Amino acid sequence: MKQIVVISGKGGTGKTSIVSALSSIGPKKVIADCDVDAADLHLILKPTIIDEHDFISGERPSIDLDICTQCGMCVEHCKYGAISDEFKIMLEKCEGCGVCSFVCPVGAVSEEPRNCGKWFKSSTRFGTLIHAALGIGEENSGKLVTTVRTASADAGVEEEAELVLVDGSPGIGCPVIASLTNADLAVFVAEPTITALHDLKRVYELTEHFKIPSTVIINKCGINSNQETEIKAFCQEKEISIAGELPYDLAFTKAQIAGLSVVEYDPEGLGAEMEVIWKELEKRLMA
Amino acid sequence: MQIAIASGKGGTGKTTIAVNIASFIDSLGVKVSFTDCDVEEPNAHLFLNPAIKKEMNEHIPVPKVNEDACIGETCKKCIELCRFKSLIWMIDSVMVFSELCHGCGLCELACPTDAIGKGERMIGTTSQGKSGNIDFTKGLLRIGEAMSPPLIKAVKEISPKAEVNILDCPPGTSCPVVESIDGADFVVLVTEPTPFGLHDLDLAVQLLDTLGQPYGVIINRAGMGDDRVEKYLSDKNIKLLGSLPNNREAAIIYSDGGLLYDSIPGYKDELSKIWDSIQNIVNEVA
């Protein structure tokens, strides 16, 4: 079983549209949506939820104001500014480190396991989907991504799937690092813009740091040939292969509005091009 | 006045709108500072081309164990109490995994022999400079570093305060965004008229309702999709600040790092209207 993770550095380059297209072609697979902050893949895959799990991570402290003597030790020692002047804990800022309960001289701080969101195992028309929803303003998205990655790899083994296909999150921080765990191939989706090229270079450094082989899909070709040339020059310099180039085409947006993958929506056009790209990715996985 | 530009989804045009609003306000003679809080993928400098005058490495405190003072195996308080598993017992000493450390200081507080001192871990850099009259500040997270909020905090702290401070925020609805919009007088949410855009806008709206900060919405690339975002806004009674058109020429100018407000017809008028609305709302709240 192989694992492909689609990432981009910059958001909005078409990662989710491309993942939904790849979901509808290729071998038996398990699909994972690791953009737990702003998951969108389910809008196309329309999952039927089979299992739902709470995502518990860390502790949720609270201060009992009847016990609290307002000594201010907790406010003084909290490094995250998460305790208000009225001795209320602002959970959006709390890291659950436990300093407040440790320093409180009267035991006014109690802690409960923190429910930070949910994750799901679902069935879709393209295979099993593992996805999640981080609670609003919650932290630990990296840990939730790890939960999704582990569950998707487990489901892949259990179902004897040939492939785990992962929609990564934007950026280069905690969630992306977690998305890339055990990846056999990282697929960068880049558009020919100065910003996407900048972010591609950063995210490439990240995959190099973790020694993960990579390839590029250039999306929205035709808006800027100079930037396309720049991306290709960068790929050539770093010996990154280009798995495909897709034109700037409204079919992706129209497919999204119709709730379909572009392979279903436009099988003769972009859909056919996605089939070619899948063959290229397959070659790189076998290499 | 501190204005944060945010969006649930990446790629909706946050940076485009942030740099264009900043340049537009600057052209009106207002003193502007610009802070790029997207430290994972900062892009605003590609449009504003600031001359960087000062660059600094930023660190967070991590524990440093003084082995002579550590009483070792009979204690292990620091290891037991650390919630982030950044300290372990290895052979016969405490070993620190500084990459996992959140810098909370609990180990130091808990150590009965004061054996834990202050080390540091470099998390990235901050840079400051000028783009014309605009004070510019950005941060750049070190590759492999997972924690961006402390760097975002550092970027915001060093950023010079002007009459209007524009903050370009990272995408999403979790800790980096919460850190970025903390203290903003007004949050501009940028969305696009597509199902993905709407879904992620809704998450951002839920976040701002939780935090209780005033906000309004700009629809970018208006005309590329459908009208469900507009319906959502009117159903929820959320202020639509303005709509910027979907335009191939805009995509081309953007792709090379150009500014749109003075080259795309109608863009400046719409920005002017948006800027008036923001000022009115902030003045009403104040």
Q: Give the per-residue pLDDT at A10.
A: 84
Do residues B150 and B103 make contact, with C-beta atoms less than 8 angstroms apart?
Answer: yes
**Cβ–Cβ contact B230 with A under 8 A:** no
Nearest to A189 by CA among A155, A231, A222: A231
Give me the count of residues in chain A. 287
Question: Running DSSP on this structure, what letter comes out for residue B142?
Answer: P
Q: Give the per-residue pLDDT at A120.
A: 98
Residue A140: is its pLDDT beyond 80? no
Say what angle helices A251-258 and B195-211 make with each other, to 10 degrees.
70
Which three-class secondary structure state does DSSP give residue B226? coil
Q: How confident is the model at residue A88 (pLDDT cuts 50, 70, 90)?
A: very high
Report pTM. Answer: 0.93
**Cβ–Cβ contact A47 with B under 8 A:** no
**Cβ–Cβ contact B1 with A under 8 A:** no
Question: Exposed e or buried b for every residue in B15-41, given b needs 16+ CB within 10 A?
Answer: bbbbbbbbbbbbeeeeebbbbbbbbbb
Give the pLDDT mean for A10-35: 95
pLDDT tens digit at each of 286 positions of chain B: 999 999 988 889 999 999 999 999 999 999 999 999 999 999 999 999 999 999 999 999 999 999 999 998 899 999 999 999 999 998 889 999 998 899 999 999 999 999 999 999 999 999 999 999 999 999 999 998 888 999 999 999 999 999 999 999 999 888 899 999 999 999 999 999 999 999 999 999 999 999 999 999 999 999 999 999 999 999 999 999 999 998 889 999 999 999 999 899 899 999 999 999 999 999 987 7
Q: Give the per-residue pLDDT at B172.
A: 86
Which three-class secondary structure state does DSSP give residue A49? strand
Nearest chain A alpha carbon to B8: A38
Q: Give the per-residue pLDDT at A285.
A: 93
CB atoms within 10 A of CB A127: 23
Integer Cα distance of B27 and A23 in angstroms: 48
Q: Give the per-residue pLDDT at A121.
A: 98
Say what angle helices A270-286 and A15-23 make with each other, to 10 degrees.
80
* Chain B CB contacts of A194 below 8 Å: 46, 255-257
Q: How confident is the model at residue A92 (pLDDT cuts 50, 70, 90)?
A: confident
| β-bridge mates for residue A132, sequence order | A119
How close, in Å, is residue B158 to chain A by CA atoms? 17
Q: How many helices and strands, by DSSP H and E, does chain B display?
A: 10, 11
Residue A178: is its pLDDT beyond 80? yes
Q: Which string of DSSP letters, residue by residue, matches B82-140?
A: -TT--EEEETTEEEE-GGG-----HHHHH-TT--EEEEEEEEEEEEEEEETTEEEEEEE
Integer Cα distance of B205 and B56 in angstroms: 35
Q: Which of B11, B109, B110 sits opposite A12 (nearest CB)?
A: B11
Give me the half-sphere count of Cα atoms (radius 13 Å) on the Cβ side of residue B68.
0
